[in-house]
Amino acid sequence: MQKIIAANWKMYKDRSEAAQFAGELAEKLASKPAQGRLAIIFPPFTDIATASDGFAGISGLSIGGQNFYPEEQGAFTGEISLKMLRDAGASWALVGHSERRQIFGESDGLIARKTAFGLAHGFKIMLCIGETLAEREAGALEAVLDRQLESALNPLDAETRKGLPANLAIAYEPVWAIGTGKVAQSAEVLEAHAVVRTILGKVLGSDAKDVHILYGGSVKPGNAAELLALDNVDGLLVGGASLEAESFLKILEA
Ligand code: PGA
């Protein structure tokens, strides 16, 4: 399976910073494409068109939105539609990131609506899941991952499910490892990814083996190769270390 290396820029970079990143990375990838890897960049909305222009002609690289609202259009002040994201150059969207769940109070119900709406509208969805430290310490890892995955995927209709292995990626991001510098131990990543694969099997049947499961949380150039070598780790979702082109490139080539 081709590994996916995704960059989540969060609320960083204005347009000139985004253009500079795209210029640097595009130059390196044009002369030496990353073998067998798909890069996905999730810039802030105002940078999507800039990034998309900057990466034009570079194969193996896609652009995504960090969020969207699951309606076609309408009176939803402050929100953005999939049509707008697509027009700017995005083909992927993040759903369920822990910062959306925790800071903005996104419920499993809203995340399920977004997942179904995005897939039905031809977007590729990266669904983020993960437990808090308190949940892990309470022995609730499996229960939390099961709830997050089943609530988002069980409602999907038969037509949508057909395209799932290609259109869905799961990002397992333990909340306690995001932006903390505290990467999960290999054994913890192995265990959690095996749990995710098993739950996917319950929900999606034989297609489950073809769904990418990415790890996220304090991924750096120095730990990327070790993480990518683990069973059921089909890619990485990178926050802080994706903000510099050179550091992201090292992870892409790890
Ligand atoms: P981090 O963020 O790499 O800075 O820990 C990962 C994420 O939030 O997706």
Segment-wise mean pLDDT, segments of 10 residues, the chain, 254 residues: 97 98 94 90 98 93 98 98 98 98 97 98 98 95 98 96 94 93 92 98 96 97 97 98 97 96
| 131 alpha carbon – ligand 1 mean position (Å) | 14
pLDDT of residue 222: 97
* Residue ranges with strand state E in the chain: 3-8, 37-42, 61-65, 92-95, 124-129, 168-172, 212-216, 235-238
Global confidence as pTM:
0.97
**What are the distances in angstroms from CA 18 to CA 9, 13, 23?**
10, 6, 9
pLDDT of residue 9: 98
pLDDT of residue 165: 93
Q: Is the CB of 118 within 6 Å of ligand 1?
A: no
pLDDT of residue 35: 85
| 206 alpha carbon – ligand 1 mean position (Å) | 30
| 66-69 LR contacts (CB < 8 Å, sep 24+) | 66/8, 66/9, 66/10, 66/42, 66/93, 66/94, 66/97, 67/93, 67/94, 67/100, 68/93, 68/114, 68/118, 69/114
Choosing from 183, 214, 218, 250 the residue with most ligand 1 atoms within 8 A of its CB, the one to mutate for a pocket test is 218
Q: Is the CB of 218 within 6 Å of ligand 1?
A: yes
Q: How far apart are the first and last CA of the chain?
A: 16
Q: Round to whole Å and give the CA distance between 93 and 118.
A: 8
Which residues are catalytically annotated? 97, 173
Q: Is the CB of 81 within 6 Å of ligand 1?
A: no
Which residues are CB-contacts of 157 (< 8 A; sequence separation ≥ 6)? 116
Structure-block tokens of residue 82 = 């999939």
pLDDT of residue 87: 98
**Ligand 1 atom 6, closest CA:** 239
pLDDT of residue 33: 83
Q: Round to whole Å and give the CA distance between 254 and 252.
A: 6
